[in-house]
């Protein structure tokens, strides 16, 4: 990792048995089906909530150049149209975290298992759905402080890092991004100590650190952090995992901001090729649309107007199907970029 980031964090999954969920398989495909049956392992398992952060950087419209901070904010707006989409449920089984699945899908597949979530967690989920982030932060912070105070009790060693990450996400959603970066760093430190340096949980928080550094225009440091996240995911999950595509998208955005447009385009194409093989479900479709939009943006910059238009048309179809709103900023940015290609290609 970058020397500056290493200095900050210096003081600072193994393979899970596969058990497919038939309902989830039908809805989302194989990528969400590594989920153990809690009824077989309930004495050792704890149900957990994980919040999706920004995850993907969007470059926006060519005709209205955005700052890095505005680009990150635009992505937050896209992904938080329905806050319940940001919530996933999984299990902590011994020292492993199962692959999480979206809250709605989980509730449909296991309607009775919601009782395994604590009353406090259910309350926080309700607050997030209502976009009452201030209350959610207050309630989740109580949980975090308890977990840290009794770090070696029960599963707190593993849960504290996940909770710190969730708090960071809530601060991002509430517009307090300056408070989110320290929380993501705390999450990384706690997760390294609990799960080990090369665990995907560590990469999840590194992703968000990289994105926040990107927003602060610290592109070199952001790139090093994101590359570490990519290495962890590739080593642990395989190079074809959709989470690898996510990191590649963000690396491409960093390289673009560094002025390395050709390498940015190569990286974005690599991200798109991975997504073609793996994307399932609405949230993934949003990620695909962001990468397609970014790819079109970079192709415009390289004067590849016809190719860019084809890519942007695909992005627009996805955005319209997901958002259903022509006034959505993502839809407007894509239309703007398509008009830009028309002006040069006609």
What is the reported pLDDT for 5? 57
Other beta carbons within 10 Å of 108: 12
pLDDT digits (tens, 9 = 90+) for 273-302: 988 887 565 457 888 999 999 999 999 999
CA distance 89 to 106: 7
Q: How far is the C-alpha of 288 from the C-alpha of 78, rounded, in Å? A: 13
Which tokens sit at 197? 């340096």
Six-digit token string for 173: 């959603």
pLDDT at residue 345 in the model: 63
Residue 3: per-residue pLDDT: 57
Question: Which residues, 6+ apart, have CB-to-CB distance to 81 below 8 Å?
Answer: 323, 328
Q: How many CB atoms lie within 10 A of CB 162?
A: 27
Low-confidence ranges of the chain (pLDDT < 50): 10-43, 282
Cα gap 287→247, rounded to integer Å: 11
Q: What is the pTM of this model?
A: 0.84
pLDDT digits (tens, 9 = 90+) for 8-56: 554 443 333 333 333 333 333 333 333 334 333 444 678 899 998 888 8
Confidence (pLDDT) at 32: 33
User: Would you state the pLDDT for residue 328?
Assistant: 82
Integer-rounded Cα Rg, in Å, for the chain is 20
According to DSSP, the residues that pair with 97 across neighbouring strands are 92
């Amino acid at each position: 990792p970058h020397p500056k980031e290493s200095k900050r964090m210096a003081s600072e999954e193994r393979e899970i048995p596969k058990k497919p969920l038939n309902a989830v398989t039908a809805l989302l495909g194989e990528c969400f089906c590594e989920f153990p049956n809690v009824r077989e392992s309930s004495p050792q398992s704890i149900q957990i909530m994980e919040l999706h952060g920004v995850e993907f950087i969007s470059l926006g419209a060519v005709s209205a150049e955005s700052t890095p901070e505005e680009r990150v904010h635009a992505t937050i707006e896209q992904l938080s149209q329905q806050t319940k989409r940001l919530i996933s449920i999984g299990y902590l089984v011994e020292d492993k975290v199962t692959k999480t699945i979206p809250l709605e899908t989980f509730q449909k597949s296991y309607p009775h298992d919601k009782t395994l979530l604590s009353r406090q967690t259910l309350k926080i989920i309700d607050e997030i759905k209502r976009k009452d982030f201030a209350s959610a932060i207050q309630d989740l912070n109580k949980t975090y402080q308890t977990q840290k105070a009794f770090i070696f009790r029960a599963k707190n060693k593993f849960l504290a890092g996940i909770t710190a990450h969730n708090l960071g996400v809530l601060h991002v959603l509430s517009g307090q991004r300056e408070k989110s970066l320290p929380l993501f760093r705390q999450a990384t430190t706690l997760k390294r100590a609990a799960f080990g340096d090369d665990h995907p949980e560590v990469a999840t928080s590194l992703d968000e650190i990289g994105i926040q550094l990107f927003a602060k225009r610290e592109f070199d440091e952001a790139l090093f952090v994101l590359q570490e996240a990519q290495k962890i995911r590739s080593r642990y999950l395989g190079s074809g995992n959709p989470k690898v595509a996510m990191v590649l998208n963000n690396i491409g955005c960093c390289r673009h901001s560094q002025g390395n447009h050709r390498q940015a385009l190569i990286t974005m194409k690599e991200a798109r090729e991975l997504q073609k093989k793996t994307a399932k479900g609405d949230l993934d479709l949003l990620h695909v649309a962001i990468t397609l939009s970014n790819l079109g943006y970079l192709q415009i910059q390289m004067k590849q107007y016809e190719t860019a238009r084809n890519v942007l048309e695909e992005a627009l179809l996805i955005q319209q199907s997901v958002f259903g709103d022509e006034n959505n900023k993502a839809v407007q940015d894509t239309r703007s970029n398509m008009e830009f290609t028309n002006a040069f290609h006609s």
